[in-house]
Amino acid sequence: MRVPINKPILGEEEKKLVLRVLESGTLTNASLSGGPMVRRFEEEFAEFIGVRHAIAVNSGTAALYASLLALNIGPGDEVLVPSFTFLATANVILLVGAKPVFVDISLEDYNIDVQDLERKITQKSKAVIPVHLYGFPAKMEEIMEIAEKYGLYVIEDACQAHGSLYKGKKAGSIGHLAAFSFYPSKVITTGEGGMITTNDDELAEKLRSIRTHGQLKGYDSVRLGFNLRMPEMEAAVGIAQLGKIKYFLEKRRENAYRLMEFLDNPNIVKPFEDDERKHNWYLFTVRFDCQETRDRALKKLREEGIGATIYYDPPVHLTPLYSQLGYSKVPLPRTEQASKTVLSLPVHPLVEEEDLKLIAEILNRL
């Protein structure tokens, strides 16, 4: 694709820090606190998000998985989660032996619907994982109120939400825990990699142990854990990327608002921001009146080399795995409607104005 949906932006800063790791000979560190690059990345990321602790791991999936383990969620427990998300959000629930309970979304913002969330809480409910989909924050104040009312933990899936704001707070600083991803398509990348953020000292200590086989000081495993560590070279890339995140976010915002300005088709629902919630513009997602129009738009954009992409069709509950588990019968009408009508467009910092004009021209003609 001439203009991919997202693309990592790497430069000399990343190379210098990676070379420093190679010259040091310390490629990873199995101690509770991790190696020097991991510790520095964690400190700087915690400061950026505005939390007490950041724990680096080897993927966003690992961040979600370790969070569930730290909360002792397992067989017999239910975790409420949207189906309109990447598979990892639900898969980690199955992996700890718990049961995903799928909640419908709001078509306003494609995030978890708080009314449906409260309806589906049972005595077995242990946690909720709201997803800040496309980088737009979920309604965290209402979610936290419901969680407190029913005694639930809240794990923010902030894998797409680096730098997004909810009432002035960074996404990932509001729930009991939050998970971030640094996959190459994300706002900042480490290649693979993830981060868990929290203000809870006890949970942070447990998570550092979980990411290295449940150990504290060596071969003394005190709890079930795995090798979920982030290597030093990935952390080095992350440090350099974090130094550029302000520019990345500003450029994404600039591109998103230019595209908003160029788009002039009343039949297309555009994304939005309001006084309470600020986008990081990880993805610029529009919605059409029907699947036929959406698919026609996708075809025309792809023909012009624009990497428009559908996130997510099918939604999790309609994938073959979850259908076999009986989830395809769960009524999630707004989730299914969105999956057939949304289309995400590139607004990353490498997208040029002429590309944005071409995208708008194609969509305006539909």
pLDDT in tens, 157-181: 999 999 999 999 999 999 999 999 9
Matching CATH number, 245-365, of 3.60.21.10, 1.10.8.420, 3.40.50.1000, 3.90.1150.10: 3.90.1150.10
| CA-based nearest residue to 281, from 3, 51, 4, 6 | 6
**Span 92-116, average pLDDT:** 98
**Span 238-245, average pLDDT:** 98
Task: Fold for 12-242, please state it.
Answer: Aspartate Aminotransferase; domain 2 (3.40.640)
pLDDT tens column, 131-150: 999 999 999 999 999 999 99
Please give the single-letter amino acid code of residue 295: D
Same fold, 12-242 and 245-365: no
**What pLDDT score does 242 carry?**
98
CA atoms within 13 A on the CB side of 242: 22
**What pLDDT score does 5 carry?**
98
Percent of the chain with pLDDT over 70: 100
pLDDT confidence tier of residue 49, bands split at 50, 70 and 90 = very high
The domain ranges of the chain are 12-242, 245-365
**What pLDDT score does 21 carry?**
98
Check whether 218 has a pLDDT greater than 90.
Answer: no
Q: In whole angstroms, what is the distance from residue 119 CA to residue 116 CA?
A: 5
**What pLDDT score does 292 carry?**
98
pLDDT tens column, 296-310: 999 999 999 999 999
Long-range contacts of 28-32 (CB under 8 A, 24+ apart): 28/229, 28/231, 28/232, 29/229, 29/232, 30/212, 30/215, 30/229, 31/212, 32/208, 32/209, 32/212, 32/215, 32/216, 32/217
pLDDT tens column, 63-82: 999 999 999 999 999 999 99
Q: What is the mean pLDDT of the chain?
A: 98
**Measured at the alpha carbon of residue 320, what is the angle toward residues 318 and 321, in degrees to the nearest 5?**
100
**Measured at the alpha carbon of residue 138, what is the angle toward residues 136 and 143, in degrees to the nearest 5?**
170
**What pLDDT score does 192 carry?**
97
